[in-house]
Structure 1
Amino acid sequence: MAKKKKIGSYPNAMIVMSLTAALFLIGFCGLLVIQSKKLVSVIRQNIEVRVFLDKEGTKSAQDSILNVIQGKPFVLSSTEVKPITFVSKEEAAKEFIEGTKEDFATFLGENPLRDSYRVKINDDYFEEAKLQQIKKELEQIGGVYEVVYQEDLADNINRNVTKIYTVLASFALVMLIIIVLLVNNTIKLAIYSQRFLIRSMQLVGATNGFIQKPYVIRGAIQGLVGGLLAALMLLGLQQLAVRNVEGLAMLQEYNKIILLVISVLSLGVLIGVTSTYQSLARYLRMALDDLY
């Protein structure tokens, strides 16, 4: 004999599972955005402006140029990487030979390369127009022979980054709308099973606030539990990826991941409370004949 459903029973597990799936997908989009932003930042930090010095420059002149460059606002301020690196002409020749497998000194008889400073730039200045201004500003320093960087690279990176963010933002927005609608419908179905219980409470004189309070609290708890489960799944997936994908560890920004987890929890509570409140309001206003 089939087990009968109790009057007023509430499908808590179904709601929590729906919220967990919804919040996990939203959180996953947020995790992708965090990782992609850090990846772009790492790429930018590895792009350098090269400041070539005059050949006849002395050590004191090089130190003076270094002091001037260090005072510029566009120089990367970071403790993770060295913002300015001095490369002697001998080191530059060694790099060139290793890269091309050709020893130019054998037929030139001398090293034509120059000492240089390799300068990393702050993200705020990573635009073609600003890089051109940096180039002009550095070339005006006494003892600087030439300033070069990979032109048009900044614009190409910025265009691609904008496309990536647009796609991710659009996907997250569409998913958020779809997921909120699905979760809202799930909670509406759950409240629907309670409609006669709600009406019975009204008939014995219970106020709307008294009726709503336990349901709204339950909705908040369901949202919190769904958020916790989604957060645990996200953190588990993130740790699994870090352990199995080489180089992914350097892209982790745990302060932002913590904020993402807090956002997922808050969103879960918000969706649970809002959807429950809206669904209850409908049945509290409904006429008796409409309940059947």
Structure 2
Amino acid sequence: MRQHRTVILPSFATIFLCSLLLSASFTAFGAVMRILSMEKNLYALEAFLPESVGEDSLTVIQNRLEHTKFIDSVTFVSADSALADFRKHFSGEMLDLVEGNPIPPFFRVTLVEDHKNPATLIEVKNNLSRMDFFEEVQAPVQWVEKISAWKFRMLFWPICVSVLLLFTLSLIICNSVRLSLLSRRLLVENMKYAGGSHFFIEFPFVLQGAFQGVVGSGLAVILLAVVLNSVADAFPIVAANLTGLGSCLALVVLLVTALSGYFSYRTVRGFLSIKRNEQD
């Protein structure tokens, strides 16, 4: 490898760059899948009640909501429970500016699984808003519309880029091994004429390809992991979405190494087959 470094180093650098882009693409795809997995939780509404509502009225309202079209579950949240939940997620300094409990009781309503789409969410929100029971009805309509509009592109581009990079990696590895073969063509032919088996000739090239793959992709994923961890330290919300990053990066290393070894084997086997046909 030192003797033929002028051939190996450019392909090694290219494998490193492609592996870095591939790791970033896989990471982006994982982030998209986490966003889409949380999308179903957005199809929920909060219907706020007046502060003075009797128990009998709550039972009547809940029963009516449960029999409303497209509604799956109805949960009553008291003012005290809402305040306690608010304090868990936000600073208490925001509540120090007001007296008492500013959060009214409300019903949390979720949609049935088969009708979790923006159109149904808007329809249910409008239906609840027309009811006289509620002072206000809130739903993340803008968020679900944006995610629904961008869902295809959010999935298509990471997959498309990943496939393109894998194809590029395959071409790079094939060309690298082919150039390495051409630079050592006389040695390979002498080994073959001396009675060397296919395995004896192929093994060094396969080992070289696998070595390039594991080192190039390994350095790429280490660099990406360092960058992402630095970003996560600065932005805690990023850290919360890095679950499974290690498995994703390990998959990239295994995939690139397997591709490097396989295409090295295919290239050398094809070269030896051509030589055998020429002899015949």
* TM range, smaller chain: 0.5 to 0.7
Q: Which moved more, 1:216-225 or 1:146-155?
A: 146-155
TM-aligned CA deviation for residue 157 of structure 1: 2.0
Aligned residues: 248
The 3 A distance-change label for structure 1 pair 85 and 124 is farther
For structure 2, the 5+ residue unaligned runs are 84-101
For structure 1, the 5+ residue unaligned runs are 76-82, 92-110
Q: Which moved more, 1:224-233 or 1:167-176?
A: 167-176
Query: What amino acid is aligned across from residue 199 of structure 1 in structure 2?
Result: E
* Partner residue, 1:265: 253
TM normalised by structure 2 equals 0.67
Cα distance between partner residues in 2 of 1:197 and 1:124:
66
Candidates 158, 168, 181, aligned match of 2:148: 158
* Partner residue, 2:90: none
Q: Is the 1:85–1:119 contact (alpha carbons within 8 Å) kept by the matching residues of 2?
A: no
1:25 aligns with 2:58: no
* Partner residue, 1:34: 30
Q: Is the 1:23–1:268 contact (alpha carbons within 8 Å) kept by the matching residues of 2?
A: yes
SS of residue paired to 1:251: coil
Q: Is the 2:72–2:109 contact (alpha carbons within 8 Å) kept by the matching residues of 1?
A: no
SS of residue paired to 1:286: helix
The 3 A distance-change label for structure 1 pair 203 and 270 is same
Cα distance between partner residues in 1 of 2:212 and 2:113:
41
Cα distance between partner residues in 2 of 1:194 and 1:159:
54
* Partner residue, 1:208: 198
- RMSD value, Cα: 4.5
* Partner residue, 1:229: 219
Which of the pair is proportionally richer in helix? 2
Cα distance between partner residues in 2 of 1:280 and 1:220:
14
TM normalised by structure 1 equals 0.65
SS of residue paired to 1:198: helix
The 3 A distance-change label for structure 1 pair 179 and 234 is same
Candidates 243, 259, 265, aligned match of 1:277: 265
1:77-96 per-position Cα deviation (integer Å, ceiling 9, x unaligned): xxxxxx985447x98xxxxx
Query: What amino acid is aligned across from residue 30 of structure 1 in structure 2?
Result: F
Candidates 134, 139, 162, aligned match of 1:172: 162
SS of residue paired to 1:206: coil
* Partner residue, 2:99: none
* Partner residue, 2:91: none
The 3 A distance-change label for structure 1 pair 182 and 164 is same
Candidates 236, 252, 274, aligned match of 2:242: 252
Cα distance between partner residues in 1 of 2:182 and 2:113:
53
Cα distance between partner residues in 1 of 2:226 and 2:113:
31
* Partner residue, 1:190: 180
Moved over 6 A (4+): 120-125, 132-136
Task: Report % sequence identity.
Answer: 17
The 3 A distance-change label for structure 1 pair 192 and 151 is same
Q: Is the 1:84–1:120 contact (alpha carbons within 8 Å) kept by the matching residues of 2?
A: no
